[in-house]
Amino acid sequence: MRTVSWHGNKVRLIDQRLLPWKLSYVDLDSHEAVAEAISDMVVRGAPAIGATAAFGMALAARECNAASIADLISWLQAAALRLKAARPTAVNLAWAVDNLMSLAGSSRFRDANGLRAALLERAQHIADEDVRTNRRMGAHGAALLSEGATVLHHCNTGALATVDHGTALGVIRSAHERGVGFHVLLDETRPRLQGSRLSAWELEQLGVSYDIIPDTAAGYFMQHGEINLVLVGADRIAANGDVANKIGTYQVAVLARENDIPFYCVAPTSTIDLELASGAEIPIEQRDRSEVLAPYGQELAPAHYHARNPAFDVTPHRYLSGIVTESGIARAPFESSLRRALAGEAPQE
C-alpha cells in the first residue's frame, strides 16, 4: 500500500487527516492541488512529501500545453516555486523539485512531450527508490532492536510518512519481520497526534505490540527503566548532525541522555542538507494556532485564546547515538560520516 502514487494521470494520496477512522484516497489533477495537499497535511512525512512534490512537477508539465521546451520550462519554474513554498522545513521537498528541474534543464530532449515523459519517469523513479532506500535503512537499523526490548517512538515515520515501509518505524517493521519480539511505546505527538492516530494504526496492521502514551509520560517510563531505545525520523539534518524533526523530539532526546538511553535518528540521505552548517540555520515552520486550540475540530480551549504552534524543533547532534541511513549508521563526528553516507559509502561505525 503506497502513500503516494501516479494513478490515471493524477497524483493519488492517502488522506492522512482521516486516519485511523477512515482509509480514503484523494486524486489530484493540478500542481496547485498538490501544493495545497502538502500544506494541509493530506500527506506528511519528509520522504512522502518529496515523492509527492516530484509527481506534482510531472503533473505540472502535463497541465501546460506549451509546444516549446523553453515555454514549458518557464511554466515549470513557477510550479517549482509554488511546491517548494508548501512546507519549508522538510528538505526532501526542495530536493525532489530541484531534481526534476535539473532534468528539465538538460539539453537532451527534442520536444516538450519528450520532457513531459521524462519528468514522469524520474518522479516514478524517486518514489520507487524511496521504498528501496527505506528497506536498506530497515536492514541496517534492525540490529539495534534486541529481543524483549521496549522502543520509544515519536511522531509517525512509517509507510505513511514515506512512499512505503518507513524510516524509524521501518526499522521497527524490519526487526518485526525478522522475528524479533519487542514492544513499542508511541508518543501521542501533539497537536496533530501522528503517534496515536497514524503510528498506532500502522502497528495494528503489522501486528506489533504497542502502547500509546501521553507526550508528557516519556520521562516517567524512562525513569522507571521501561525504555531501552529511542527511534525518531527527521525532516532535515544539518552538516554537523543536528536534526530537525517533529516538535517534541528535542525534549525526548534530552530525557534519553539523562537516563542513558540510546537515541537514534533514521533518515535517508536525501534528508541531509550539507549547505547548512548547523540546525540553527534550519527554517522552522510555524503552523496555525487552531491546531493547538481545536485539533481536528475538537475544541480544547476558546478560539480567542492565544497559542503558538511550531511544527518542528532541532535536536543538537550531541544527543544522538547515531543516524541510520541507507548507507549504514553514521556516528560522530557527523561532519565526515554524513558526507560518506551521502557519497554512498559505509559511514565509519
- pLDDT tens-digit profile of 79-102? 999 999 998 887 899 999 999 999
Q: What is the pLDDT of residue 349?
A: 54
Looking at the structure, do residues 191 and 294 belong to the same domain, yes or no? yes
Domain boundary among the residues 135, 157, 187 is at 135
Looking at the structure, do residues 219 and 300 belong to the same domain, yes or no? yes
Looking at the structure, do residues 126 and 156 belong to the same domain, yes or no? no
Looking at the structure, do residues 183 and 202 belong to the same domain, yes or no? yes
Percentage above 70 pLDDT, the chain: 100
Long-range own/partner contacts, residues 26-31 (CB < 8 A, 24 or more apart): 28/56, 28/59, 29/59, 30/59, 30/60, 30/63, 31/56, 31/57, 31/59, 31/60, 31/63, 31/79, 31/82, 31/83
Looking at the structure, do residues 65 and 170 belong to the same domain, yes or no? no
Looking at the structure, do residues 66 and 128 belong to the same domain, yes or no? yes
Cα separation, 337 vs 325, whole angstroms: 11
Residue 66 lies inside a defined structural domain of this protein: yes
Looking at the structure, do residues 45 and 90 belong to the same domain, yes or no? yes
Neighbours of 197 (CB within 10 A): 22
Contacts of 143 (CB under 8 A, 6+ apart): none
Neighbours of 265 (CB within 10 A): 29
The CATH number of residue 101's host domain is 1.20.120.420
The CATH number of residue 284's host domain is 3.40.50.10470
Mean pLDDT, all residues of the chain: 95
C-alpha cell at 328: 549504514
Domain boundary among the residues 96, 111, 135 is at 135
Q: What is the pLDDT of residue 283?
A: 94
Looking at the structure, do residues 127 and 179 belong to the same domain, yes or no? no
Count up the domains in the chain and report the number: 2
Cα separation, 123 vs 11, whole angstroms: 11
C-alpha cell at 89: 522545513
Looking at the structure, do residues 71 and 129 belong to the same domain, yes or no? yes
Which one, of 175, 168, 95, lies nearest residue 324 by Cα?
Answer: 168
What band does 306 get if pLDDT is binned at 50, 70 and 90? very high
Residue 349 lies inside a defined structural domain of this protein: no
Looking at the structure, do residues 216 and 117 belong to the same domain, yes or no? no
Domain boundary among the residues 86, 102, 135 is at 135
Looking at the structure, do residues 315 and 201 belong to the same domain, yes or no? yes
Which one, of 36, 30, 106, 38, lies nearest residue 61 by Cα?
Answer: 30
Q: What is the pLDDT of residue 110?
A: 83
* Strand partners of residue 328: 325
Residue 236 lies inside a defined structural domain of this protein: yes
Q: What is the per-residue pLDDT across 255-294, written as a single tens digit (0 to 9) for each?
A: 999 999 999 999 999 999 999 999 999 999 999 999 999 9
Q: What is the pLDDT of residue 88?
A: 83
Give the predicted TM-score (pTM) of the model.
0.92
Tallying the residues shown for the chain, one arrives at 349
Cα separation, 324 vs 136, whole angstroms: 10
C-alpha cell at 114: 519528450
Residue 273 lies inside a defined structural domain of this protein: yes
Residue 22 lies inside a defined structural domain of this protein: yes
Q: What range defines the domain where residue 199 resides?
A: 140-342
Q: What is the per-residue pLDDT across 23-41, written as a single tens digit (0 to 9) for each?
A: 999 999 999 999 999 999 9
Return the active site residues. Answer: 235
Residue 347 lies inside a defined structural domain of this protein: no
Q: What is the per-residue pLDDT across 55-87, written as a single tens digit (0 to 9) for each?
A: 999 999 999 989 999 999 999 999 999 999 998
Looking at the structure, do residues 129 and 163 belong to the same domain, yes or no? no
Task: Classify residue 325 by its DSSP letter.
Answer: E
Which one, of 126, 95, 10, lies nearest residue 60 by Cα?
Answer: 10
Residue 74 lies inside a defined structural domain of this protein: yes
